[in-house]
Structure 1
Amino acid sequence: MNEILKDWGSVILRSAIILVVLFFFFWPVKLEGSSMEPTLNDGDIICMSRFFVQMGWYEKGDIVVFQYIEQGKEKVVLKRILATEGDHIRLLADGSVEINGDVLQENYVEGPTNGIVDMTIPKSTVFVMGDNRSTSFDSRNMGVISCDDLTGKVVLRWFPINQMRTY
């Protein structure tokens, strides 16, 4: 009987360790919506790392995950960090984005970058935008995001089975 309990205990312990590793380092999330196209598409599956966010290991250009409450419903949102605390961000009339006086080279952007933004990012917040600027609901609408509200950083992306190409 002791051998059976030891075996079961070992299986349970290993399972718990695997679950903890997945939860903190590689948690899968299915993307819904088009605001991150062409980088990420509706139906793509990404893995996010909670650990990276908890350690503060994110920077401009990273895609992060956060919770946002819209009309009483909590949504999981993915956006790209464009500016962090202390940065000055401006949206220019030609549709480009300027950070601290330098125009960003954003080859991943689709659609025009509309809106009026001219601000310095407050302490412990980030300014986020989707890559598909014409459909993205982001910091242009919802304001800056508290770093405490970030729940993960995208570390891996793969396509769902129905989007994989066969040759």
Structure 2
Amino acid sequence: MAKGKNEFWEWTKAFLIAIGLAFVIRTFLLAPIVVEGSSMMPTLQDHDRMVVTKVGEPKRFDIVVFHANSKDDYIKRVIGLPGDEIEYKNDTLYVNGKAYGEAYLDQYKKEYSSQYEGALTPDFTTVVPDGTFFVMGDNRRNSTDSRHIGPVPIEQVVGTTKLVYWPFNEIKIVDK
């Protein structure tokens, strides 16, 4: 009888440790997210499943998940860091006066310009306040982002994401 009790206790401890580890990992390190909508197309598709990393400071062009309001999390790309002057002119991104290429948009820009007139990203200028990020969806004509909701406070950022793990046949690491 003592052996049965001891084995039960060992299994119980192992189960509790596993639950505790899962809780710590999910709360502080990694979490799953489902992409909802088309605002990050063509980079991410509706219903893609990704892993969010909750450690580290986001950098320019990282894809981040943030609390948009009390119910919704959004997934967008960091374009501007605190203090940056962001300008789009003739479909080119300028940060603090320096032009940046956005390779992740190259193909989409070509497709857009062959079907429509005008730039994929309309011209604008803004300065990113301290303590915030300026974020945009890759689907520039169909994205509710910092152009509409304003800059995102750093404390609302859940983390960064690069790994698409579902659908299984489209597993990939998303580059900048």
TM over 0.5: yes
User: Cα RMSD (Å) of the superposition?
Assistant: 1.9
Aligned positions, number: 154
1:68–1:76 contact (8 Å) kept in structure 2: yes
Q: Which runs of 5+ in 2 are unaligned?
A: 113-119, 171-176
Seq. identity, %: 31
1:11-160 alignment runs, 5 A limit: 11-52=15-56, 57-69=57-69, 74-92=71-89, 94-109=90-105, 110=108, 111=112, 112-116=120-124, 118-160=125-167
Corresponding residue SS for 1:37: coil
Deviations 1:48-90 (A, max 9, x none): 01233xxxx2110100001113xxx721100000110111111
Runs of 4+ in 1 over 3 A off after TM superposition: none
Q: Which has the larger radius of gyration?
A: 2
Equivalent-residue separation in structure 1 for 2:157 and 2:165 (angstroms): 22
Contact 2:40-2:138 at 8 Å conserved across structures = yes
Contact 2:79-2:134 within 8 A present in 1 as well: yes
1:100-156, CA deviations, whole angstroms, 9 ceiling, x for partnerless residues?
11122012123510253x222111100000111011111111111000110121041
TM-score of the two chains, using structure 2 as the length reference: 0.79
5+ residue gaps, structure 1, are none
Distance 2:49 2:135 in 1: 20
The Cα offsets for residues 10-30 of structure 1, whole Å up to 9 and x where unpaired, read as: 221123213322443331111
Q: TM-score, normalised by structure 1?
A: 0.83
Q: What code does the residue aligned with 1:150 have?
A: V
